Copies of this chain bind each other. A is one copy, B any other.
Amino acid sequence: MDRQREEPMVKPEFGYVTPENICLLTDLYELTMADSYYRRNKNQRVVFDLFVRGMPPCRNFYVFAGLEQVLYFLENLKFSYDAIDYLRSLNLFSDEFLRFLKDFRFTGDVYAMEEGEIFFPNEPVVRIEAPLIEAQIVETFLLNTVNFQSAIASKAARVIIAAKGKGCVDFSPRRDHGADAALKVARASYIVGFMGTSCVVAGKVYGIPVFGTMAHSYVMSFPSEIEAFRAFVEDFPNNSVLLIDTYDTIEGAKNAIKVAKEMEKRGRRLRGVRIDSGDLLTEAKEVRRLLDENGLGYVKIFLSGDLNEYKIHDLLEKGAPCDFFGVGTEMGVSKDAPALGGVYKLAQDETGPRIKLSKGKVTLPGIKQVYRIFSPEGTMVKDVIALEEEKIKGIPLLKKVMESGKVITSVPSLEEIRESFSQRLSSLPEPLKSITKHHDYKVDLSQGLSELIEKLKHSPH
C-alpha cells in the first residue's frame, strides 16, 4: 500500500529526527499491521527475538551495541499530535487506531545481552515480551539501532585487536552515513576500546574524549610549513600534533624537529607528528629515526589515511614505529561488511512457540536463553541456545532490563561497557582474534530446543 500526503509538501526546517518525529522511524507496514491487529482485538502477549542470521568470512564474532538507545526509545515512545496528524493525512489508518496511538506506550518486558557482549549468529541479543501491537511497532527502530551500532562495534573491535594496545581514534565523521551515524560511530568504537573521536558532538552528547591534530589546509594557509608549525605550537603549546606530509614527509619531519627543539628551549614538548599519506611504513621508520637521532624519543607518531585492521596489522607486523592510529572511513562505514543482517522474529504467541519455515530464513521457536560455557582458564568454549526452562550449565547472557515499559537496571556508562568489553575480548579464543583468517565458534542448540524445532517442523501451526 502507498500513500502520499494530499497537502503540499512543507519545506523541512530541520531535516533530522527529533523527539517529536522519532516515533515515525518505522516501516509503514508496522503501523498498518498494528492497525489491523487493533481492529481485530489481536493484542495478545507475544515474544519477539532480535538476532543476526549469518556471519561473513571477514568476521569471527559480533559485538552487541545500541541497547541504551533502544531502552530510551522504548521508555519514551509517544506519538505526538503532529505525527498522528501526518498519519491521518495518509488516508490509510482507521480513526480508532489513530485514537489508540494518542495514548500508546510501550509496556512490555525486555531481555537483552549487555552492551559490549560478544555474540554469534542465531543468538537472540534482545527479546521483547509485549502485547502484539507494541512488539510490532518498535521493530524497525530496534533493528536500525542494533544492526548499525553492532556492525560498527564489531568492525572497530577488529581494529582494536590489530592495533595491539596502540591507541586508536575515530576519524570517520566526514564519511559516516549522516549526522546520527557520526555520533554513533564514535560511541560504538569507544565502547570497544577506541581512545576517543574527532567528532565533537559525540564529546558533547556522550562525554567521549575528543581528539584532533591539524589539516593540510592549515599548513597551506601559511607562507611556509615551518611557519605553520611554529604558529600551531604557540597556540596549543601542550598538545600539538604536527601534520608533516603536506609537501614532503621527510622535509616535514625535519621542520617538526626544528620546532620541537625550539619548544624544548621554552620548556615545552612537542606531543607528536602525523603522517597521512604515502608509504606509511617506510616513512614512519625514517621519521622515527630522525626524531630519535635528535633526542626526540618522546615525540609520538600518529598514522592515518584509509587505515583499517588489515593495514594496521600489516604495519605492526613489519615493525612500523607508531604510537597512535587515526581510523576513519573503513571503520566508520564497516566497509567490508557495512550491514549487519539482524532480524526480529516472532518466537512465541498465545498459541505457544512459533517457527518460520521460509527457505533459508528458518527461525528458532520459544522463549530462549543463551548460555556461554568457559574453560577453567576463563576462555570461551562454546555457547548453547536453549529454552528458558531448561537447566544448562553456563553463564546466561540475556538479562531482564525492562519491566512493564520501565528500565529496571542501571544503564552502564560507556566507560563501564568499555571495561566489560575489554574483559570479554580477553576471554575470546585466540583463533577468533585473527584478523586475516575466519574461524567458527561453536554455538549448539540444546536438546529441548532441537526437539521443539523438530516437532514444529511437522506441525508449524
Task: Check if A148 sits within 8 Å of B460, measured CB to CB.
Answer: no
**Residue A395 is within 8 A (CB to CB) of chain B in the complex:** no
A142–chain B nearest beta-carbon distance, Å: 9
In chain A, positions 196-230 with a C-beta closer than 8 Å to chain B are 196, 198-201, 203-207, 209-218, 220-221, 223-224
Please choose the segment from A357-365, A381-389, A438-446 that sits at the chain B interface, where 4 or more of its residues have CB less than 8 A away. A357-365
Task: Check if A72 sits within 8 Å of B15, measured CB to CB.
Answer: yes
A73–chain B nearest beta-carbon distance, Å: 9
Bound CA–CA A76/B79 (angstroms): 28
Task: Check if B183 sits within 8 Å of A181, measured CB to CB.
Answer: no
Taken together, the copies of this chain in the complex come to: 2
| Chain B residues closer than 8 Å to A139, beta-carbon distance | 174, 215
Task: Check if B180 sits within 8 Å of A28, measured CB to CB.
Answer: no
A101–chain B nearest beta-carbon distance, Å: 12
Task: Check if A180 sits within 8 Å of B16, measured CB to CB.
Answer: yes
In chain A, positions 7-52 with a C-beta closer than 8 Å to chain B are 9-19, 21-22, 24-33, 35-37, 39-40, 42, 46, 48
Known: A204-B21, A218-B33. A211 touches B28 (CB 8 A): yes
Chain A, residues 344-358, CB within 8 Å of chain B (1/0): the string is 111001010010111
User: Residue among A29, A143, A346, A414 with the most chain B CB within 10 A?
Assistant: A29
Task: Check if A216 sits within 8 Å of B177, measured CB to CB.
Answer: no
Bound CA–CA A278/B362 (angstroms): 12
Bound CA–CA A159/B214 (angstroms): 39
**Residue A421 is within 8 A (CB to CB) of chain B in the complex:** no
A186–chain B nearest beta-carbon distance, Å: 11
Known: A18-B18, A247-B357. A221 touches B461 (CB 8 A): no
A32–chain B nearest beta-carbon distance, Å: 6
> Within the complex, which residue of B31, B205, B332, B338 is in contact with A335, where a contact is CB–CB below 8 Å?
B338
In chain A, positions 145-185 with a C-beta closer than 8 Å to chain B are 145, 147-149, 151, 171, 173-184
Please choose the segment from A231-239, A254-262, A284-292 that sits at the chain B interface, where 4 or more of its residues have CB less than 8 A away. A231-239
Bound CA–CA A176/B177 (angstroms): 8
Task: Check if B357 sits within 8 Å of A33, measured CB to CB.
Answer: no
| Chain B residues closer than 8 Å to A460, beta-carbon distance | 247
**Residue A329 is within 8 A (CB to CB) of chain B in the complex:** yes
Task: Check if B358 sits within 8 Å of A216, measured CB to CB.
Answer: yes
A209–chain B nearest beta-carbon distance, Å: 4
User: Residue among A19, A39, A178 with the most chain B CB within 10 A?
Assistant: A178
**Residue A408 is within 8 A (CB to CB) of chain B in the complex:** no
Known: A40-B231, A136-B217, A173-B144. A210 touches B90 (CB 8 A): yes
Task: Check if B211 sits within 8 Å of A1, measured CB to CB.
Answer: yes
| Chain B residues closer than 8 Å to A29, beta-carbon distance | 198, 212-215, 218
Excluding A1-B271, A223-B351, 12 further A-B contacts by CB distance (< 8 Å) are A1-B240, A9-B414, A16-B17, A16-B18, A31-B200, A48-B217, A144-B178, A149-B178, A175-B339, A216-B356, A216-B358, A277-B361
Q: List 7 A-B contacts (CB under 8 A).
A: A1-B240, A27-B199, A32-B214, A177-B338, A178-B183, A220-B354, A329-B339
